[in-house]
């Protein structure tokens, strides 16, 4: 069985999911390829694990170069002649325009384009997703919320929900090696991820817990400007790191201040490490966190500050939530559950197409 995964993001959450799926399918003896930009974490890791990478020079957002990017991808897929194409995220999802159902196509949005598009593009994105559903053999959503958002927008493709998963064997609880009340935020420094909202909340946290510190782990388009604006000694900027488990290990609470998500990996990773989570109420958050932390109204900076401060001041509360989170991660969000489910859906899809 030959499967080609297509993705533009080559760092962070989407890239991690793509690699885990590709490796799981490779272990089953499938011929697995990845089409993505040739530089970056995903391409490096894929090659290190013996997974062929086919260069797809694509930018993050649609623009004048998009038509050329899609034609290039079509040439690659035509040459590879895959049994199935698995498209990840909205940019790769545009490939349905050139595939048009000629190859069994699985689309995984990892967050709908219309949920992050500007006001002028939002309607066009909804229309596109409704139209492209005719060329989508199976839609895979990472949370119930993501599927509900698609249905509300009129996306009619046959769909399954497969929650994201993390490596609960590698990510494990460990004892603190310090006494400083610590909040940790991991993620791409970008408008969607909401670090600016967390930084607006932080002075209120300090009024309640003056010795607290905030560790921001990640890089991105807003990193330089936010760092210049927030130079308080309690705020520590660590840039991109592949050793996120070390930062979770330092946390009393992990914060997800995102404006939009499908189902973020950060809460799942934090729970696997036995850490309490505080997050805005965006897609997938309640389904992932459960009773392992607190979910506050999206964009409510005051509520975010209160929830963080409570766990920094009451470390027993945070520890109890962290223990419950570890159980949730093991039972509901283990990586192998996710990869096994996608493998089964892929096999079933190909079987059904073969009987037509």
Provide the Cα torsion 269, 272, 274, 276; round to 10°.
40
Contact status, residue 95 vs residue 28, Cβ threshold 8 Å: no
Residue ranges covered by each domain of the chain: 2-165+335-354, 182-332
Q: What distance in Å separates the CA atoms of residue 144 and residue 79, rounded to the nearest whole number?
A: 36
Q: Assign 354 a pLDDT band (cuts: 50, 70, 90).
A: low
- As its CATH architecture, domain 182-332 has 3-Layer(aba) Sandwich (3.40)
Q: Assign 34 a pLDDT band (cuts: 50, 70, 90).
A: very high
- Among 107-116, 257-266, 268-277, the range with the most confident prediction by mean pLDDT is 268-277
Radius of gyration (Cα) for the chain, nearest Å? 20
182-332 matches 2-165+335-354 in CATH topology? yes
Q: What is the pLDDT of the chain when averaged over all its residues?
A: 92
pLDDT, tens digit, 9 for 90 and up, residues 14-26: 899 999 999 999 9
Q: Which pTM was predicted?
A: 0.89
pLDDT, tens digit, 9 for 90 and up, residues 266-310: 999 999 999 999 999 999 999 999 999 999 999 999 999 999 999
The yes-or-no verdict on residue 343 having pLDDT over 70 is yes
The yes-or-no verdict on residue 355 having pLDDT over 60 is no
pLDDT, tens digit, 9 for 90 and up, residues 218-229: 999 999 999 999
Question: Length of the chain, please?
Answer: 356
pLDDT, tens digit, 9 for 90 and up, residues 162-200: 999 999 999 999 988 899 999 999 999 999 999 999 999
Query: What φ, ψ does residue 95 adopt, rounded to 5°?
Result: -65, -15
- As its CATH architecture, domain 2-165+335-354 has 3-Layer(aba) Sandwich (3.40)
Cα–Cα nearest to 202, from 166, 245, 222, 231? 231
pLDDT, tens digit, 9 for 90 and up, residues 233-243: 999 999 888 78
pLDDT (0 to 100) of residue 350 = 87
pLDDT, tens digit, 9 for 90 and up, residues 58-82: 777 777 788 888 889 999 999 999 9
Sheet with 182-186, side-by-side order of all strands:
235-237, 213-217, 182-186, 253-256, 276-280, 293-296
Q: What distance in Å separates the CA atoms of residue 302 and residue 120, rounded to the nearest whole number?
A: 30
């Amino acid at each position: 069985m030959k499967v080609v995964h297509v993705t533009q993001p080559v760092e962070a959450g989407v890239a991690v999911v793509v690699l885990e799926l590709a490796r799981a399918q490779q272990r089953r003896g499938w011929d697995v390829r990845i089409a993505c930009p040739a530089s970056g974490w995903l391409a490096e890791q894929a090659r290190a694990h013996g997974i062929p990478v086919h260069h797809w020079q694509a930018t993050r957002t649609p623009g004048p170069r998009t038509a050329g990017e899609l034609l290039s991808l079509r040439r690659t897929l035509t040459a590879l002649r895959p049994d199935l194409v698995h498209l990840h995220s909205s940019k790769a999802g545009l490939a349905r325009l050139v595939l048009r159902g000629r190859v069994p196509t699985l689309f995984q949005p990892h967050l709908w384009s219309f949920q992050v598009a500007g006001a002028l593009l939002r309607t066009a994105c909804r229309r596109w997703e409704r139209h492209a559903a005719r060329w989508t053999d199976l839609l895979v959503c990472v949370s119930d919320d993501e599927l509900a958002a698609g249905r509300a927008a009129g996306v009619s493709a046959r769909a399954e929900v497969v929650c994201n998963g993390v490596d609960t064997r590698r990510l494990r609880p460990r004892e603190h090696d310090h006494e400083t009340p610590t909040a940790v935020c991991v993620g791409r420094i970008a408008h969607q991820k909401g670090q600016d909202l967390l930084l607006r909340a932080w002075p209120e946290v300090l009024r309640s817990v003056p010795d607290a510190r905030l560790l921001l782990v990640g890089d991105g388009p807003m990193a330089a400007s936010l760092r210049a604006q927030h130079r308080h000694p309690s705020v520590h900027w660590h840039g991109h790191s592949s050793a996120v488990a070390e930062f979770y290990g330092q946390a009393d609470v992990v914060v997800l201040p995102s404006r939009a998500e499908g189902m973020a990996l950060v809460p799942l990773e934090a729970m696997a490490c036995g850490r309490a989570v505080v997050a805005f109420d965006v897609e997938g958050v309640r389904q992932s966190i459960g009773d392992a932390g607190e979910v506050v109204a999206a964009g409510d900076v005051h509520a975010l500050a209160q929830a963080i401060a409570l766990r920094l001041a009451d470390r027993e509360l945070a520890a109890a939530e962290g223990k419950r989170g570890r159980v949730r991660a093991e039972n509901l969000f283990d990586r192998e559950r996710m990869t096994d489910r996608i493998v089964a859906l892929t096999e079933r899809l190909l079987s059904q197409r073969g009987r037509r």
